[in-house]
Structure 1
């Protein structure tokens, strides 16, 4: 090797050492910088004609385990999803109250029962009657406020979805822009590590919004998909749209278009990501699940409690009277006091098989036909009949809906008669009764319309007309103003009943704490095959315990997932982050190499000086 080639080799070594020091100094300077990954540059032997003439350093690269990075992103999406559920379920739980708290919904029902007992002990006491009405008002207010909180949280989720979609679009545009820069620099064999860090930060932030899958391309760019396989970004990003709604109430559902939906728009293609099930994790999925599933279920629990409470206090059962027509026997039922939502309960046996039928009065034929799930009872058949038509038409509709062996007629007025097939002997009418909700405060039995629908002041009858009276009833339930105006009706249920009589208060207490009812399975309490059956106060305790359990489970799941995410983050940081000790050790090696190369250059300069002096 000549002195010139030796000088070239030493100069290349000096340059490589300088480059290494530059990379190391940037690593040290960025300790703790969010998203920064340690950069390294491999050095290789520089050859000419098969002989080494020095050294060169490749462009700086990152040390990133892409499999671990994808695991971390998926875990981050799961953490965001579970954290949102935990936070919002905790707030629902706070609204319902703790099971052992007097301020909970269950506590309010219990307090109402306590005031009833005081009324039973002192039916003539005006303060006792006033205290009972006050507790009833407190319970109604608690239901109103909790319902309002549920809808406010749904609207909050709607707004957060809108903000998340806007943020996702911005992040996709950032990723696309950095993609282009990376492709350009890689084509020119330039360093792309810092741009990759910038792009990864955007992808990491996107993964908090939705679970994404990233595919690396040969040109250094990436393609981004949802976990469900929908393309979000290839060369250019798609656009995510969201039709945000600014108002929310219990009738606002995804199915009826009352809430916004996230759509993926690419050219002429538009995909509803919610309907496609593409949002499986991340903050957006968390808010969608809260808005469309968990919060509506909580609302359904409140509405069911409010509805059953109102019905329990007011309902009266009217038994059918025996009817005979020749050899045919059965029952007559007077429907004069029936209103929309009231029912006729018919049991018959045909061919040795007993069948229970619930005939529901509707005044809005657009809601027909009715599903058997309209009632929570198992095994019954539900028949909806439009009563807002001539009696002849009502009878015709009933006859068409029932077997021919059950004969339906109208003997007079508003009476409906159900008869068996007489001498044929193939059918029997076992029982007929009607469940009605009288609006009168007295003279209609011991029931009392204690609670009414505050929207229009009508008695709650669980009408199915329109969207159904039960939907959102918890936000409208109120104590009947007529009862507040004359609280003597709490005791005096009929003419001549003395104020010391305890019949009605005792019946109230039984309706609240002893008589069992069957509750709708859409509340999440019980199932369609085994709906929950219990008293009003038992159902109140059950829904409070349900929410408490949900909140506790969600908190536990979120904490467990956070442990996983933190562990993955620690592993990722350990592999990709800057370690000061390692960098200082490397810096010492580079310093020694730099000094050695400088010494070689100095020696060669001295040798050149000697050669020059010989020439003189």
Structure 2
């Protein structure tokens, strides 16, 4: 073979090797461009869901650990059980100073347990608030990155340059954004993309929008999204501003996870603690005021003394009109802005709830009651603080079946065998479940404390009346029954029980049910997160398998082609040297 032929063959081999290297390099650079865009969107959606569920499962596990187990002495249920044990010791030794001191010490420990758990929940909400702020900042940075790469891709594609590496970088940024919030990506003809929330709000076209978040540095049980007590995520584009939380635009991803924790899961845990603390305080302190029979001509009914009623206390009225019985709960309200009250103001699914403003003359109270009740039920004020309910007399269409009042006395003697053992705050405010704005129950677990009057004089644990013998067990026995065996109904808004069938049981039983509920929620969330991880992993495997290019094979081919290129280059170099030798001989 002549040198010229050898040179031609080497040049041909060099060109073929170069062409192969170019093809292989583009295959590697553009591997992800050959995938199914629908599959890519599925993977991003699954990734957002997986992140959301992981955050939820992690926080619920922390809540479950905070609530403990029903039989643990460190749990709120265990503390209530220990209080019952101390009551039993007081029953056995009512004259013992040590027994009284031990009981009050355990009551203080229980109140501190409520306070600490409430603080923990609010700290978790504040943590979620900070995570939302950080997530919004990260989302803005990612949108800026995607916009910048978009512009580079458009410029390079217009010049017929390779854009595979840029597309890879953009995909990585979009993938990261999708873990923060669920997004939808639309490809454009010029190689750029448009990004929307899954709810349809535009996040990025040619330029990105700005996401803002008004982070709050303090959060308490009364802080809600509805009252502006926590931050909200807004989309700002020019003069347009959209509240993404109100629009329901953030449905998955890390931001949605932190929002659900802050606004739903943790407030529900707080509501359970508040309900338990409220029912504990009411169970120990509530007393029933009986009515007295009343008549007026042919009409009969009952008189009820309302002198001892405070905000949140109730009158319980039962009447029959036209053969249909109706139970009514009349709630004393001192803040008329909360009126009218919904039937859900009580846990009883079968009563009619009527809120009445008692901060007005008795004539106004009677008029409001009469307006809220059927005409066949007559309401009047015979004297003082007494309210009279009468049937329609000779007409015989109505009957007043029963009337009583439920009150929460502040006096610890001569007011009943119960006692206001737990109060609202260190000032000793009686907990009466007042329905103002905010309701007294909101955040009560963070404020519950032992009545300072009981601490100052522990003989009141026994002396329910003036002159009660020091060895009398009437009050301790009643308090134990109220704590462990007297049934109460609990608000379905806690997530325990339903509107038609609220949870009913003792305070001790409700405490155990709360712990069981949180344990179940944590276990379910963990299972959901694990199941979603399987889905995400499966989609990732499918995504990797369907890229259309085996990266390992392509890299191997690239190495072979590079070696071939080098070999042909060496042949050309050798031929060049031979030509140089020949030329020198000719001279």
Alignment TM-score, normalising by the size of structure 2: 0.93
CA distance 1:147–1:182, change in 2 (3 Å): same
For 2:449 and 2:198, the matched residues in 1 are separated by 47
Partner residue of 2:193 out of 222, 229, 243: 222
* Match of residue 261 from structure 2: 290
Indicate which of 376, 390, 401 corresponds to 2:361: 390
Q: What is the rounded CA distance, in whole Å, between the counterparts of 1:284 and 1:270 in structure 2?
A: 19
Measured in 2, the distance between the counterparts of 1:497 and 1:295 equals 46
**CA deviation digits over 1:387-427, x for unaligned, max 9?**
11111111111111111111111111100110111111111
Equivalent residues in 2 for 1:221-240, closer than 5 Å: 221-240=192-211
- 1:603 to 1:152, Cα distance in 2 relative to 1, 3 A: closer
Give 1:449-598 correspondences, 5 Å limit. Answer: 449-454=420-425, 456-573=427-544, 581-583=552-554, 585-591=556-562, 593-594=564-565, 598=569
Q: Tell me, yes or no, if the aligned pair for 1:405 and 1:426 is still in contact at 8 Å.
A: yes
- 1:447 counterpart residue number: 418
Post-superposition Cα deviations, 1:505-527, rounded to whole Å, max 9, x if no partner, equal 11111101111011001100011
Q: CA deviation at 1:102?
A: 1.7
Matched residue, 2:28: 38
Q: Does 1:155 align with 2:150?
A: no
Please give the secondary structure, in 1, of the residue aligned with 2:493. helix
Tell me if the contact between 1:61 and 1:191 (Cα under 8 Å) persists in the aligned partners. Answer: no
Corresponding residue number in structure 2 for 1:171: 142
- Partner of residue 208 from structure 1, selected from 169, 176, 179: 179
Aligned to 1:339: 310
- The alpha-carbon deviation at position 363 of structure 1 amounts to 1.2
**1:12–1:196 Cα change, 3 Å:** farther
Residue 403 of structure 1: aligned partner: 374
Structure 2, unpaired ranges of 5+: none
Shift of 1:92: 1.0
Using the TM superposition, give the Cα deviation of residue 529 of structure 1 relative to its aligned residue in structure 2, in angstroms. Answer: 1.3
**Residue 433 of structure 1 aligns to a residue in which SS?**
strand
Query: Which residue, out of 118, 122, 131, partners 2:102?
Result: 131
Within a 5 Å distance, the mapping from 1:237-252 to structure 2 comes to: 237-252=208-223
Q: Which runs of 5+ in 1 are unaligned?
A: 28-36, 41-59
Alignment of 1:276-287 (within 5 A): 276-287=247-258
Task: Decide whether the 8 Å contact of 1:342 with 1:436 is kept in 2.
Answer: yes
Displacement after TM superposition at 1:472 (Å): 0.5
Quick check: 2:288–2:406 contact (8 Å CA) kept in 1? yes
Distance apart, 1:601 and its partner CA: 5.7
CA distance in 2: counterparts of 1:568 and 1:339, whole angstroms: 61
Name the structure 2 match of 1:140: 111
Q: CA deviation at 1:612?
A: 9.9
From the superposition, tell whether residues 212 and 9 of structure 1 become closer, same or farther in structure 2 (CA, over 3 Å).
farther
Contact 2:32 2:547 in 1 (8 A): no
Aligned-partner Cα distance in 2 for 1:394–1:231: 55
CA contact (8 A) 1:38 1:62 kept: no
CA displacement 1:249-276 (0-9 Å, x = unmatched): 1111111111111111222322211111
What is the SS of the residue equivalent to 1:594?
helix
Q: How far does residue 215 in structure 1 lie from its aligned partner after superposition?
A: 1.4
Task: Say which SS state the counterpart of residue 215 (structure 2) adopts.
Answer: coil
Q: Deviations over 1:310-340 (max 9, x none)?
A: 0000000011100011111000000011001
User: 1:263 maps to which residue?
Assistant: 234
Distance 2:32 2:370 in 1: 82
By how many angstroms is 1:309 displaced? Answer: 0.3
Matches of 2:5 and 2:354, distance apart in 1: 101
Q: CA deviation at 1:594?
A: 2.6
Q: Give the SS at the match of 1:322.
A: strand
Q: 1:446, CA displacement in angstroms?
A: 0.3
Offset at residue 197 of structure 1 (A) = 1.4
Match of 2:170 in 1: 199
Give the Å deviation of 1:498: 1.1
- State the TM-score, normalized to the length of structure 1: 0.89
Contact 2:221 2:442 in 1 (8 A): yes
> Is contact 1:38–1:576 with CA below 8 Å preserved after alignment?
no
Deviation at 1:353, TM superposition (A): 0.7
Q: CA deviation at 1:141?
A: 0.6
Quote the Cα distance in structure 2 between the aligned partners of 1:8 and 1:177: 46
Whole-Å separation in 1 of the counterparts to 2:74 and 2:4: 92
Match of 2:405 among 406, 429, 434: 434
- RMSD, aligned α-carbons: 2.9
- Pairwise mapping of residues 77-156 of structure 1 onto structure 2 (< 5 A)? 77-156=48-127
Distance 1:109 1:432, change over 3 A: same
* 1:423 aligned to which of 370, 387, 394: 394
Report the Cα distance in structure 2 between the residues aligned to 1:136 and 1:337, rounded to whole angstroms: 26
TM-aligned CA deviation for residue 17 of structure 1: 2.4
CA contact (8 A) 1:81 1:281 kept: yes
Q: Verify the 8 A CA contact 2:184 2:195 in the aligned structure 1.
A: yes
Counterparts of 2:227 and 2:9, CA distance in 1 = 76
Determine the C-alpha separation between the residues in 2 that align with 1:393 and 1:581: 87
Is the alpha carbon distance of 1:228 and 1:16 closer, same or farther for their aligned partners in structure 2, counting shifts above 3 Å?
farther
C-alpha separation between the residues in 2 aligned to 1:398 and 1:257? 35
Q: How far does residue 456 in structure 1 lie from its aligned partner after superposition?
A: 4.1
- The aligned residue for residue 17 of structure 2 is 17
SS state of the match for residue 246, structure 1? coil
Provide the C-alpha distance between the structure 2 equivalents of 1:518 and 1:388, rounded to a whole number of angstroms: 28
1:27-75: per-residue Cα shift (whole Å, max 9, x none)?
9xxxxxxxxx9326xxxxxxxxxxxxxxxxxxx9855443332222112
Deviations 1:116-151 (A, max 9, x none): 111111111111111111111111111111111111
Write the distance in 2 (CA, Å) between the matches of 1:539 and 1:528: 16
